[in-house]
């Protein structure tokens, strides 16, 4: 089994955006030799300036790495950089480990697991919650699926990236745990925006309402952190509506496959499609308020 040591273990990082960039930098700072690949090279410049080596393709990156992390956008991106013609699996060395941290499909995680095993390597799925702030502060919650001994071996790396590392089982289990997170957020957010909409329409001061209800049985991270932003009309992300729609779509497909009924998630999905139709795909998830207001024929800010 791979042994992780700063200065010796060679790390490859694919996807250096708003999440992946700061995450990779934590590993570089911890003393790991870093190779990077990104679709847009410009977004990797900060890491390259810090001493990371550029790789011309995911395959080349894998050839020179003991552990390869991927943190990209959508499942099709995951498929391309890992299973594609110049993907990670082509270059994966025996004993090397691929860690996909993108929020993606559980079934794809299983497929990637099998592909890596066929090359004598290993794969973990390890999506995160905590957003860009959590990525910058190394305060992410990381939900991991894959072989337990591989997860254990990679703990020194995970501890550079997050505060809470949860092991959830075989390949795909990390993705499933992340789906639980997104399902929970989806309906919680409906409650937040409906509560604040009611407060405003009833003539209450919504900030006072949050003060009264935010720390009791109705309380949530969403009402206390996003509620005030909703009141101010500040719908900047946070977490993009477009990405949340992707995640909910995965969860709904999985739920259908597993034969379970999730009416709240189905409603949230439809309401978020309305948020996107209103031109707010790149706003934060709390822009759900705008879909509700629009349904009430109330003025929707831009």
* Active site residue ranges: 178
Choose, by CB under 8 A, the member of 95, 155, 211, 277 that binds its own copies: 211
DSSP assignment letter at 284: B
| 185 binds its own copies per the rule CB under 8 A | yes
Compute the distance between CA of residue 163 and CA of residue 216 in angstroms, rounded to an integer. 26
Question: How many whole angstroms separate alpha carbon 175 and alpha carbon 126?
Answer: 7
Q: Is residue 274 a contact point for its own copies (CB under 8 A)?
A: no
Q: Which of 46, 188, 281, 282 binds its own copies (CB under 8 A)?
A: 188
**Interaction of residue 180 with its own copies, rule CB under 8 A:** yes
Tokens of 143: 């939900």
Residue 220 CB-density burial (10 A; 0-12 exposed, 13-18 middle, 19+ buried):
middle
With CB under 8 A as the contact rule, the residue among 28, 68, 190, 287 that binds its own copies is 190
Strands 140-145 and 128-129: antiparallel
Nearer to its own copies, 93 or 271 (CB): 271
For position 299 contacting its own copies by CB under 8 A, the verdict is no
Q: Residues 91-130 vs its own copies: string with x where CB under 8 A? A: ---------------x----------------------xx
- The answer to the question of residue 196 lying near its own copies (CB under 8 A) is yes
Q: Does 135 bind its own copies (CB under 8 A)?
A: no
Whether 162 and 140 have beta carbons less than 8 Å apart is answered as yes
Find out whether 103 and 247 touch, Cβ atoms under 8 Å: yes
CB 16 within 8 A of CB 24: yes
Site for its own copies in 242-261 (CB under 8 A): 251, 254-255, 258-261
Comparison of 114 and 208: residue with beta carbon closer to its own copies: 208
Taking the complex as a whole, the smallest distance from the CB of residue 221 to its own copies amounts, in Å, to 5
Overall residue count recorded for the chain in this entry:
302
């Amino acid at each position: 089994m791979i042994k992780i040591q700063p200065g010796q273990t060679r790390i490859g990082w694919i996807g250096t955006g708003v999440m992946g960039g700061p995450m990779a930098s934590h590993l570089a700072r911890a003393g790991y030799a870093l190779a990077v690949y990104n679709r847009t090279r410009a977004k990797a410049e900060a890491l390259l300036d810090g001493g990371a080596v550029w790789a011309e393709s995911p395959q080349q990156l894998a050839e020179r790495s003991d552990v390869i992390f991927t943190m990209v956008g959508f499942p099709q991106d995951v498929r391309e950089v890992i299973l594609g013609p110049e993907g990670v699996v082509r270059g994966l060395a025996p004993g090397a480990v691929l860690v996909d941290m993108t929020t993606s499909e559980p079934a794809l995680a299983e497929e990637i697991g099998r592909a890596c095993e066929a090359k004598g390597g290993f794969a973990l799925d390890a999506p995160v919650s905590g957003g860009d702030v959590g990525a910058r502060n190394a305060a992410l919650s990381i939900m991991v699926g894959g072989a337990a001994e591989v997860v254990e071996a990679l703990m020194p790396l995970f501890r550079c990236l997050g505060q809470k590392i949860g092991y959830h089982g075989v390949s795909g289990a990390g993705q499933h745990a992340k789906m639980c997170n997104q399902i929970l957020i989806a309906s919680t957010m409906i409650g937040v925006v409906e509560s604040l909409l009611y407060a405003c329409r009833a003539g209450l001061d919504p900030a006072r309402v949050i003060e009264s209800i935010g720390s009791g049985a109705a309380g949530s991270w969403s009402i206390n952190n996003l509620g005030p932003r909703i009141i101010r009309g500040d719908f900047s992300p946070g977490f993009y509506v477009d990405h949340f729609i992707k995640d909910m779509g995965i969860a709904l497909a999985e739920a259908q496959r597993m034969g379970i009924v999730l009416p709240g998630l189905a409603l949230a999905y439809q309401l978020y499609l309305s948020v996107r139709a209103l031109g707010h795909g790149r706003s934060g998830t709390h822009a759900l308020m705008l879909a509700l207001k629009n349904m009430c024929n109330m003025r929707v800010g831009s």
